Amino acid sequence: MPLTGVTTVTFDADDTLWAFEVGLLAAQRRLREEIVRLTNETAAVPSVDEMNATRLSLDSEAGFSETTLDVRRREAIRRSALDAELHGDSLIDSLFNLYVSTRVANTPLFPDTRPALAALQGRFQLGVITNANTDPAELGLSDQFSFVVRADAEPYRKPDPRIFQHAASVGGYKLSRSVHIGDSLETDVTGANNAGAISVWLNRRGDMADPSASARHVIRSLSELSGLLGVD
């Protein structure tokens, strides 16, 4: 039976609307290439895996764990450049801007994203609730969403129900009449369940579900949303 009474549909962003890892890897490789070019010394430059490990270590490092993703990324770039004996604020700014522009340019929307949004637009209010910091408009989704809530700009992140409550305040809707779609059982499904929204797990890869984080509905593609929401 299609869901009834729904007014608002919210989406996670990374790995739900677009393939984040594709753009991430392209940006990391381009960043390393540029550092190699500047130093002309390949052996002194950290590998992509090493640079990624440096970035992830900042998530739990005192002084950085509570900062924004951009602050952590810039610091990771600074440390990787320093390993190659490159330093200076203007240089780090340039490397950071190169990383961001490369990531955005190389992050593809999933093939089902635009058709799914087009089918729902005008029938439901559409929004984004993400722990990441990419603006959908940067990837060509500038008119589809009424609101975008990014955890970087808030004091809490999914699965904290308060970010869903904040989104409901911004969008002016009742959580009980909203559907949230995301690829993560831990952040999207658990967060939506705890906030009183209808959770939909986007399980593109056919993973086994954790029974402790049960989604109200499971789909393999965003193309299934039309049927779930009763859209002809």
pLDDT in tens, 30-80: 999 999 999 987 777 899 999 999 999 998 999 888 888 999 999 999 999
**Which of the residue ranges 13-17, 21-25, 64-68, 196-200 would you say has the lowest mean pLDDT?**
64-68
CATH number for the domain running over 8-19+109-228? 3.40.50.1000
pTM of the model: 0.92
User: Each residue of 101-151: pLDDT tens digit?
Assistant: 999 999 999 999 999 999 999 999 999 999 998 999 999 998 999 999 998
Token pair belonging to 172: 């002016």
> How far apart are the two ends of the chain, measured CA to CA in Å?
13
Secondary structure of the chain: what % helix, strand, coil (to 5)?
50, 15, 35
Question: How far is residue 175's CA from residue 168's CA, in Å, rounded to a whole number?
Answer: 6
Burial of 215 (0-12, 13-18, 19+ CB in 10 A): buried
What pLDDT does 211 receive?
62
What residues does each domain of the chain span? Answer: 8-19+109-228, 21-105
pLDDT on residue 136: 96
Is beta strand 217-219 parallel, antiparallel or unpaired with respect to 178-182? unpaired
Res 40: pLDDT: 81
Tens digit of pLDDT for each residue in 203-217? 998 887 666 668 999
